Amino acid sequence: MGQDQHFKLYKPAGYLSQFVNNQNRRRNKKLLSELGDFPEGTMSVGRLDENSEGLLFLTTDGKTSNYVQSKNVEKEYYVQVEGKIDEKAINEIQRGVEIKLKKRVYTTLPAKARILETAPKVPPSPRAERDRDKITSWISITIKEGKYRQVRKMTAAVGFPTLRLIRVRIGSEGLENLRPGKHIELESFNV
């Protein structure tokens, strides 16, 4: 068997974080395999939901996948929320908030959170026209866990629904100048 391969990808909104379409209800969904010619056995390291975008690692090495998804590695997100978020909401996110996971209440681990005073330089959103008349804020949230739709649930729990979510960093590896749908091969993950 050959050497494992690793990639970093800017997953655009509208794609599932998977390569194989194994469920009939997903037959019309866009998959990561449409974004490049990846080697057989490539898997995504963690997930971003269909509406989220940003940094996603791809690998042919399952051990690497397990480490990157562990609570040892930070994941940073830029989040555009509806409304003018305040320090009270940021403090709640930092302490941990209660969210629902599979019909039970879960308290998130403490997180790093801050208001971004100016909108980050990110590619235009496919939803920009729909959201242009809303008052919005941008925040940065850094977590070490990754529950199902966690960041979206965290901002909703403090009264500021997520409009756009972009993962910008995993460990010390960032998006840099990657554009949506583009990827580069890495020798290893720098996390």
CB-neighbour burial class of residue 172 (10 A; exposed 0-12, middle 13-18, buried 19+): exposed
**Residue 144: CB atoms within 10 Å:** 14
pTM of the prediction?
0.91
β 53-59/6-11 pair status:
antiparallel
Least reliable range by pLDDT among 3-12, 89-98, 125-134, 165-174 = 125-134
**CATH classification of 75-170 is 3.30.70.1560, yes or no?**
yes
Q: Which residues pair with 107 in a beta bridge?
A: 98
Catalytic residue among 49, 61, 86, 131: 49
> What pLDDT does 61 receive?
86
Cα separation, 143 vs 170, in Å, equals 10
Q: Amino acid identity, residue 29?
A: K
Pairing assessment for the beta strands 136-143 and 75-82 based on DSSP bridges: antiparallel
**Would you state the pLDDT for residue 69?**
77
Neighbours of 116 (CB within 10 A): 14
Ordered by start, the domain boundaries in the chain are 6-70+172-186, 75-170
pLDDT at residue 130 in the model: 65
Residue 133 has pLDDT above 80, yes or no: no
Q: At what angle do helices 87-95 and 150-157 cross, to 10 degrees?
A: 130
pLDDT digit string, tens, across residues 33-80: 899 999 998 999 888 999 999 999 999 987 777 777 778 899 999 999
At 64 the pLDDT is 76
More confident site: 69 or 167: 167
- What's the distance, Cα to Cα, between the start and end of the chain in Å? 25
Task: Extract the tokens encoding 48.
Answer: 């971003």
Q: Can you tell me the mean pLDDT for 167-177?
A: 93
Residues 150-159: b if buried by 16+ CB within 10 A, e if exposed: bbbbbbbbbe
CATH number, span 6-70+172-186: 3.30.70.580
| Catalytic status, residue 131 | no
Rounded Cα–Cα distance for residues 166 and 75 (Å): 11
For the segment 90-126, what is each residue's pLDDT rounded down to a tens digit? 999 999 999 999 889 999 999 999 999 999 999 888 7
Q: Write down the pLDDT at residue 23.
A: 58
Let me know: does 162 contact 79? Beta carbons within 8 Å. Answer: yes
